[in-house]
Every structure is written in C-alpha cells, then in structure tokens.
Amino acid sequence: MSDKFIGKWVFPSDDSLLEQSARRGERYNFENIANDIIDKVHFEPEDIVMDLCCGNAALAKYVSKTCKEIHGVDHSEHLIRTANKIKEKESISNLHLYLSDAMNIDKLFREDFFDKSYCYFSFQYFNKRKRELLLAQLSRVTKRKGWIFLGDIPDKTRIWNFYESPKKFYREKISRILQFKEGECNLGWWIDPKEIVQWCDSHRLNVSIMPQDKNMPHAHYRFDVLIRNSK
C-alpha cells in the first residue's frame, strides 16, 4: 500500500480505528483522550478549530461537539477516507476534511483563520526543521491570542522510561538509518520540551509544557504543550 502513513509508520492488522492511529491495546479510549484535549484547550461554541494530522477523525468527532467548525487535515488517504465515513455515518456537518500534507496549511487556510489549533500524537513525525516550519505556519493560521495545542509528544528527557535498554533504542535507530526510513525510531523523533520553549521564546509566544495526567496511557514518557499565540 502506498499510503503515506499506513504501511510506513503503522501496520494495522485490521480496520480498528485505534490500530490505524498507532494505538494497540485496551488502555486506549478516544473519548477519554478527546476529553483531555477539550479540558486543556477549552473550545468555545463559536470557535473555528483545526485538527492538524486528524487521522481517521476519531478525536475530531468528539471535539466537533464543542465548537462551531472543525477542519481536519491529514496526508493519509486511508485515514481521510475513514474520517469521511465517520462524518457521514454520524452526520457531523461541522467537520471539514482535507487530504493534504501538514506543511501546506498556509496554502489551505488564510492567516488568522482559526481560533484554536491542535495537533495530537503527530508532531513527532516531523524532523526538527519541519517542526519549526510547522510551528510558524500554525502561528500564522491561528488568530492572535488564539491557542495552539500540541499533544502526546515523546519526551527526549524521559526516553529511558520507554525503552527497557539503550540497546533496543539504538538497534531501532540504526535499522531505520540502514533502511533510509524517516525518524530516529518507530515512534518518530524524541523531542526535548526545551526545543519548543526556545522556539516560542524567540517568537515571543507564551508557552506552557504540560505533564500528562497519570491516567493517560503515555503519561510516563510523553508531554503536551499549550501555546498562547501572542504574535
């Protein structure tokens, strides 16, 4: 399959919405994850929201109930097709879907289009150069004083909470290099929260690094970020 996500970063063994979005196991629950995002971002009924890298829209489905419009962008044909099926089946009329690379959001949307933007469990699939470009684009398409939320990012400073041994990590890393695969491991890139703080400081955006609630499935090695778009 030539899909840009399925078969490249994830290899689901069936049509499970969880497996499609790289979640294996019963500890995952889309409604709980969506509620965590909703609690942190505080969407308002008049808000125009972007779900960047929306995948199959299993989270956008819940967020759509809390805002006026939600625009989901993803480069996976398979996942956008599934998202469209969910939209139709559940009559989610305020959900708009775009098959596009995230790096094109400034062409898809005009400046200041969104009140709030979020990108969940996805920022780690971009290398450092692209992460910085993406932050700049998110800031551009989100209104001044709006909010940008980046969720579920693997924390480089807690990498050994995830791997049992450095050997396993380096084996994965070398294997990806030899196969010319993107990312330093199967999770994408490990990111130091300081990198995001420094970028925000240099662009004068207020930023908070948020630890995840310990009931969240990845709390021991991932973090969230909330940016006030004080551009």
Ligand X SMILES: C[S@@+](CC[C@H](N)C(=O)[O-])C[C@H]1O[C@@H](n2cnc3c(N)ncnc32)[C@H](O)[C@@H]1O
Q: Which residues bind ligand X (CB under 6 A)?
A: 5, 21-22, 53-55, 58-59, 74-76, 79, 101-102, 120-122, 125
| Closer Cβ to ligand X, 5 or 189, answer by number | 5
User: Taking the complex as a whole, how short is the minimal distance between the CB of residue 124 and ligand X, in angstroms?
Assistant: 9
Scanning the structure block, which residue is given the tokens 């909470």? Answer: 161
Pairing, β 206-211 against β 222-228: antiparallel
| Closer Cβ to ligand X, 1 or 46, answer by number | 1
Listed residue (121, 91, 112, 99) closest to 48, CA to CA: 112
User: Taking the complex as a whole, how short is the minimal distance between the CB of residue 215 and ligand X, in angstroms?
Assistant: 17
Count Cβ atoms below 10 Å from residue 26 Cβ, excluding itself. 7
User: Taking the complex as a whole, how short is the minimal distance between the CB of residue 209 and ligand X, in angstroms?
Assistant: 19
Which residue minimizes CB distance to ligand X? 55
Do 140 and 113 touch, CB atoms closer than 8 A?
no
User: Taking the complex as a whole, how short is the minimal distance between the CB of residue 59 and ligand X, in angstroms?
Assistant: 5
| Closer Cβ to ligand X, 81 or 168, answer by number | 81
User: Taking the complex as a whole, how short is the minimal distance between the CB of residue 167 and ligand X, in angstroms?
Assistant: 25
Q: Amino acid identity, residue 58?
A: A
User: Taking the complex as a whole, how short is the minimal distance between the CB of residue 47 and ligand X, in angstroms?
Assistant: 18
| Closer Cβ to ligand X, 109 or 121, answer by number | 121
| Closer Cβ to ligand X, 114 or 125, answer by number | 125
* Distance (Å, whole) CA 155 – CA 221: 6
Residues written for the chain? 231
Residue 150 vs residues 134, 142, 165, 169: alpha-carbon distances, Å: 11, 13, 28, 24
* Distance (Å, whole) CA 84 – CA 88: 6
| Closer Cβ to ligand X, 74 or 115, answer by number | 74
Tokens found for residue 119: 């990108």
